Structure formats: structure tokens, C-alpha cells
Structure 1
């Protein structure tokens, strides 16, 4: 579970061991796998103002990092969606009893990247949509695959794209991604923001999240950008 990696303040030889262990995990983890997916056959109409979308696909550190390295994304904030305000904190959410999913709210310029393209990235490299209530080493409903749609347009694009890639049999298993209306998105605690960028030597990041960024660069170079759009830069 990623909670075990929140404290990366290990000295000397322990830090070296942690990095080595992370490299071993990276060479053997599902996070390294990506799927080449077709572009959406149906997409949202191009808007002239910025839009937002909320994605949940396991630990928010990796999902946030992938979208932060996506051209056209203006901001990507880790947080919680699907539950109540009073339980929207890491300590409560990790119980798996709050209804929340660890999620990322993506603000993007639809003139540069579409909602459908963000979905393609989400399914291709950000997570495995066939894993039910888990991603990698993290288990529980808080790590479920989910798309929280903000309007009927997003819902239709998501439904059609899932049907498209299911029909193409892009994955060996059934897509279990939940589609749900977004009530409210609650930003996570500050220490969760920009985590992959701030802790690149964390064993967890090395094993499970850095490979996702590498896969984005390799699989979809047309949307990859080297410099991430950090939450800290927005403040």
C-alpha cells in the first residue's frame, strides 16, 4: 500500500536500498504496461474556454503526474470524489468506507486537447481499467477506476469510447470503469500535490508511477511535454 511510502526520509544506505527495491518493482510491475488504443471515434465539441474533468484510476499520484505531463492540461489536482465533505481527507478515505475515490481534477484547454483524447490517455497509460477496486499494490474501493462526468456531453463521450475500445477488444479483460455524475471534488492535502515530481526517488514512484510517464512519452509523443504543469505553480 502506498501509505507505507509516504515517509521517504530514510538516510544513507536505507535510501539506496529503497531506490534499488523500487527499480526492481518497476521491472516487474504492471505499471510499466501500456496499451495502444485508437483515438475516440466520437468526441466533445471544441469549446473556447477552459474545461475540467475528473478521473480516478488508483493512487492519485500517478494519475496526476501523467496528466501534468500532457500538453494542453493547465492544472491537475489530486483529491477525492464520490463521498461527503466531512470524510474527504486521506485518513478517512484510506479506510475504504467513505465512498470516495482518489481522483484527479484536470483543467485543460479544449482548443489544444479534447476530452476524448484525455480519455485515451487515461485508459492507455494512466491505469488499468480492468482491475476492480485496485491498482497495482493498492486495494480498496478508494482505488477504483471511475470517470466522474460533469455534464451529459462528457458522459456520452465516455460511454461511446468505452464501447469503442471494448468492441476492439483492446484489453484482455472487461473494462470495469465506473461512470458517475460528479457531485463535488475535494482537493487532497498539500503533501499529496505534485508528489511524483517532488519525490522522484521514492520507491513507490519509481516502481509504479514513473513508468506511466515514460509510457506516455513513448506511446503518445504528440501530447507529451517534459515540463509538468505543477499545482505549486498555480498558487
Structure 2
């Protein structure tokens, strides 16, 4: 989200009334849904709540998209890939902790499968072909990464990446990596950011177009 000059720049644009130009551009860039096939190999439905941990740019945006997926019970923003001692926003933003901004999704696999979550992740939640960058945010903390919570999840994710590559679903190569690491929740002010800050410039510019694009592309699983 707002690192370095981004926050003061957008605040200034909003104050002088020309943020709409940038919002229009952001809308065009941030809401591009890619039509991709469903996973061929998925996990079976079970009655117990499961979790998925995904990283793909600003966790505000990722949270905004996935909290609108039917079957998702909760989405927590946080950090994955580094240590607990450095799992703070200020430290992660310095790009020295090895963390990625990530979300932890608690979901009902009887309603939405892990494979379907990955399909949303690759097609609309982020662009898996851009290295260490999503929208206006750049750095390794904004990398595309999946943190499997079980060997079975790793198998599904690895197979899906291979499937998408073989079908040339994207114009460029997929840079998403499978990683290991503990998930640490982010600070309270980062949680449920989309719903609590509907007029925030970043939400208007990047998150709302993503949510709208998700609903248009996946109407049957949109809540």
C-alpha cells in the first residue's frame, strides 16, 4: 500500500481535486480479470474449516477480494516468510525482513474448494506474472507467493501453476513461488480495511475495482 511517497502524493492529489484522473487509470489497471481454467486436481470437501495463506501485493486488496467469496469465513491480513520478531508493518515495509504481505483465509471446503480459491487468486486478486510488484506497490514484500498449509495444498498449487503454464493462460510466465513460513497477523488497523475505509483513496483506486471485477467474473461464488 502507501510506501515512501505514495501516501503523501495521493493525499495531495485528493486535496487539490485531481485524484479522479489517477483513480480512472487505477481502475483500468486494477480490475483486469483473466479468464483461466478451473483446477484439474483439487482437494476433497471436508466438514472441517481449512486455511489458506496467499501473498500477492497489498494485503488490503487481497483481503477485499477474498472476503467476498462464498464459503470464506474469515480473512486475516498479516506477514509470512520471515520471523516473528520482524513481523511489523514498519519493518516489513523496509524490505529487509523476507516477509511478504499475506492473508490467511479460513474457509469451508464444502462451499468453496482450495482450487477455487487459487483460481480467484490467479485470475483477479493479483497478477502472477509481475515480479515483486502489484499495482502501485513494489518490493519483495509484495511478491506473488503461496504458503501451503499441508502437503496436499502444495501438490494442488504446484499442479495448477503447471496447468496454467501449459495452457498459456497468461501472456507472460508465472512468477508465483511456493514458500514455507509462519503467518503472523498484521496490526489491528490493517484488519478489515476495505469495509472500515470505503472512501480511502487506495481503496477507491485499487480495491473497489478488484472487488467489482471479481463479482463480474465469479457471480456464482460472490457474496
Structure 1: 4+ residue segments shifted above 3 A:
3-7, 13-16
How is 1:163-178 mapped onto 2 (pairs within 5 angstroms)? Answer: 163-178=162-177
Say yes or no: does 1:210 pair with 2:221: no
Q: In 2, Cα distance between the equivalents of 1:18 and 1:185? A: 38
Question: What is the deviation of 1:22?
Answer: 4.8
Q: In 2, Cα distance between the equivalents of 1:112 and 1:15? A: 44
Q: In 2, Cα distance between the equivalents of 1:116 and 1:56? A: 16
Q: In 2, Cα distance between the equivalents of 1:142 and 1:148? A: 14
How is 1:175-194 mapped onto 2 (pairs within 5 angstroms)? Answer: 175-181=174-180, 183-194=181-192
**Runs of 5+ unmatched residues, structure 2:** none
**Runs of 5+ unmatched residues, structure 1:** 226-235
* Paired residues of 1:71 and 1:224 also in contact (CA < 8 A): yes
Question: What is the deviation of 1:136?
Answer: 1.1
Question: What is the deviation of 1:26?
Answer: 2.7
Structure 2 vs 1, CA of residues 203 and 152 (structure 1 numbering), >3 Å: closer, same or farther? same
Question: What is the deviation of 1:215?
Answer: 0.9
Counterpart in the other structure of 1:223: 221
* Paired residues of 1:85 and 1:186 also in contact (CA < 8 A): yes
Structure 2 vs 1, CA of residues 18 and 46 (structure 1 numbering), >3 Å: closer, same or farther? farther
Question: What is the deviation of 1:137?
Answer: 1.1
Question: What is the deviation of 1:129?
Answer: 0.2
Q: Alignment partner of 2:77: what SS?
A: strand
Q: How many residues align?
A: 222
Counterpart in the other structure of 2:17: 17
Structure 2 vs 1, CA of residues 111 and 201 (structure 1 numbering), >3 Å: closer, same or farther? same
Question: What is the deviation of 1:28?
Answer: 4.0
Structure 2 vs 1, CA of residues 75 and 174 (structure 1 numbering), >3 Å: closer, same or farther? same
Counterpart in the other structure of 1:94: 93
Q: In 1, Cα distance between the equivalents of 2:186 and 2:18? A: 26
* Paired residues of 2:70 and 2:222 also in contact (CA < 8 A): yes
Counterpart in the other structure of 1:142: 141
Q: Alignment partner of 2:141: what SS?
A: helix
> Can you list the C-alpha shifts for 1:54-81, whole angstroms capped at 9, x where unaligned?
0000000000111100000000000000
Question: What is the deviation of 1:5?
Answer: 6.2
Q: In 2, Cα distance between the equivalents of 1:69 and 1:211? A: 13
Counterpart in the other structure of 1:200: 198
After superposition, the CA RMSD in angstroms is 2.1
Q: In 1, Cα distance between the equivalents of 2:62 and 2:47? A: 25
